[in-house]
Amino acid sequence: MPKTTSPYLFERRYTGPLEAVIMDWAGTTVDFGSMAPIRAFQRLFAEEGISISEAEARGPMGTEKREHIRQLCAHPRINEAWTALKGAAPSEADIDRMYDDFVPLQIDSISQTARLIPGLTEALKWMRGQNIRVGANTGYAASMIEGLVAMAAEQGYSPDSNVCATEVPKGRPYPYMSMKNAMDLGVKHLGACVKIDDTLTGIEEGLNAGMWTIGVAISGNEVGLSLEEWNELDASEQASRRTAAYARMSSAGAHYVIDSIADVIPCLQAINQRLSQGEKP
């Protein structure tokens, strides 16, 4: 008998267009420099009698906020300072209590920094024109971002799907938030989705979900300066910080790295071209 080739012995390559773009909130689409979480974490620990640096506060950025607090409490210097002050290392009860205290601090900080990052409106217009669905996800809890979602909508940004870390079994770097976004958006091919994030753990999330990834180097956590602070740097200092941030994003596996969301359209066009040739993330 002649041999037959089963249709299940080969994988059909997807050659269609991008289906969805999923973006982080702070540092990617709003809050240039991702300042709101840092201010809230520093205030939280100051209320416990412990000063933490901005660099320490930024260490676990991108993770769910209770986990962020747990990692800060496990930081050797912070743990040592806590133990010296309070006579014992932070307990789970301490972490639970601090998380409850953190929520209103975070809401207050968000309300002060919820401006859209320049260039987002133009990028959204291009995405809509390409029939690309738009999702958002965040390490914030749902209770923290009600005001943020409303303020973003007033400025013209309303994602088709929004997922918080508290809505999935595990936050970043697990892929569950991006995957839930994809399900909410009716995506058929995860490889036709792009995750855009300003944190290394957010890039890892996108890779774990089987998506293309774009790292945002300047407007978010890697540089960690407000737009005004960034513009005050001279060209040499900007170049130095840009080079270091791009290197960290590239080392994390980002397919593309950009300064801010204002630079994203050429990357999305390039991904569309690669998809048309049957490439995968």
**Residues with a known catalytic role:** 24, 65
Among 174, 215, 219, residue whose Cα is nearest residue 194: 215
Q: How far apart are CA 238 and CA 254, in angstroms?
A: 21
HSE-CB at 72 with a 13 A cutoff on CA atoms is 33
Burial of 228 (0-12, 13-18, 19+ CB in 10 A): exposed
- Angle in degrees, 0-180, between the axes of helices 92-113 and 146-154, rounded to the nearest 10: 10
Whether 71 and 91 have beta carbons less than 8 Å apart is answered as no
Q: Residue 139, Cβ neighbours under 10 Å: how many?
A: 28
Structure tokens at 204: 């890892």
To which residue do tokens 């409490």 refer?
73
Give the CA angle between residues 62, 203, 266 to the nearest 5°.
125
Burial of 24 (0-12, 13-18, 19+ CB in 10 A): buried
SS3 277: coil
Whether 257 and 249 have beta carbons less than 8 Å apart is answered as yes
Whether 155 and 147 have beta carbons less than 8 Å apart is answered as no
Structure tokens at 279: 């490439």
